[in-house]
């Protein structure tokens, strides 16, 4: 199928107010759990959402969307009901900036990591990163869920001096994982899963971790049907 661009067919696009400080498509859709999105044209991302193919692009203040319907006779820009799926997918009604301020106020380590992990836009204003793992948490509607693996276990012990009190576990196990999840939920609040994703992703981007990854892992692409 031929994918549209905003310049080629502007009448088939609708937009949602969304500053880039809340959502960066190039960061969210290019990594993590967002396996079905592809950049078919510069800054234009196509993927499947609720059994429909979409193309998304954005400006500094708006998120632009176009949808490809099965009924080719029904053309036109996305309806408000169709745009609702986009808003819910990216959780655009949740202010990431407010969450960052809260997490930073209760967790000095998070504040330090977030300042180093911010991304500059072309205009020089700071953008907060809504990482791809957050999208996975949003889709499951479980923002309080804190995934725990060996890497997150190491972060907890190294940066928070955390150790399990209900078991003698020296690594992840069901009982200790539950305790660690509760620790972070009590610290970060109902969106603890998002905060965890920021720390996890920031830590993986440290040069020491990248150097340890085998080249094949760094180059591996996700499998799946093309959009």
| Domain boundaries, given as residue ranges, for the chain | 10-90, 96-219
Mean pLDDT of 118-126: 35
Q: What is the rounded CA–CA span in Å between residue 156 and residue 118?
A: 21
Q: In the predicted model, what is the mean pLDDT of residues 88-100? A: 89
The Cα 127–Cα 19 span in angstroms is: 9
The dihedral over CA atoms of 205, 210, 215, 221, expressed in degrees to the nearest 10, equals: -10
**CATH code, residues 96-219:** 1.10.1670.10
pLDDT at 18: 94
pTM for the complete prediction? Answer: 0.70
CA atoms of 130 and 90, how far apart (whole Å): 9
Gyration radius of the chain over CA positions: 19
Distance separating alpha carbons of residues 32 and 204, to the nearest angstrom: 12
More confident residue, 215 or 55: 55
Report pLDDT for 137.
52
C-alpha 222/C-alpha 34 separation (Å) is 9
Look at residue 201 in the predicted model and tell me its pLDDT. Answer: 79
Q: What is the CATH number of domain 10-90?
A: 3.30.310.40
Backbone phi, psi, residue 37, to 5°: -105, 140
Mean pLDDT of 202-215: 56
Mean pLDDT within 66-82: 83
Integer CA distances (angstroms), 83 to 30, 90, 118, 225, in order = 21, 11, 28, 24
* Catalytic annotation, residues: 130
Binned at pLDDT 50, 70 and 90, residue 134 comes out as very low
Please tell me whether residue 46 adopts helix, strand or coil conformation. Answer: strand
Instruction: Walk across the sheet containing 62-68 and list its strands.
Output: 14-17, 62-68, 52-58, 44-49, 38-41
């Amino acid at each position: 199928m031929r994918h549209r661009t905003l310049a080629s067919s502007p009448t088939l696009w609708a937009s949602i107010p969304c500053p880039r400080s809340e959502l960066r498509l190039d960061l969210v859709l290019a990594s993590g759990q967002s396996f079905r999105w592809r950049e078919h044209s510069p800054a234009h991302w196509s993927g499947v959402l609720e059994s429909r193919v979409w193309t998304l692009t954005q400006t500094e203040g708006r998120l632009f969307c176009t949808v490809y319907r099965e009924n080719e006779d029904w053309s036109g820009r996305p309806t408000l009901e169709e745009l609702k799926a986009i808003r819910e997918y990216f959780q655009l009604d949740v202010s990431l900036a407010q969450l960052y301020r809260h997490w930073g106020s209760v967790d000095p380590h998070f504040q330090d990591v977030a300042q180093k992990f911010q991304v500059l836009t072309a205009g020089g204003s700071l953008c907060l990163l809504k990482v791809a793992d957050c999208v996975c948490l949003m889709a499951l509607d479980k923002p309080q869920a804190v995934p725990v693996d060996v890497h997150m276990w190491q972060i907890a012990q190294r940066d928070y001096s955390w150790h399990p009190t209900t078991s003698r576990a020296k690594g992840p196990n069901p009982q200790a994982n539950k305790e660690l999840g509760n620790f972070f939920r009590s610290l970060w609040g109902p969106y603890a899963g998002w905060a965890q994703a920021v720390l996890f992703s920031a830590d993986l981007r440290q040069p020491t971790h990248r150097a340890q990854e085998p080249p094949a892992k760094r180059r591996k692409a996700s499998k799946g049907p093309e959009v």
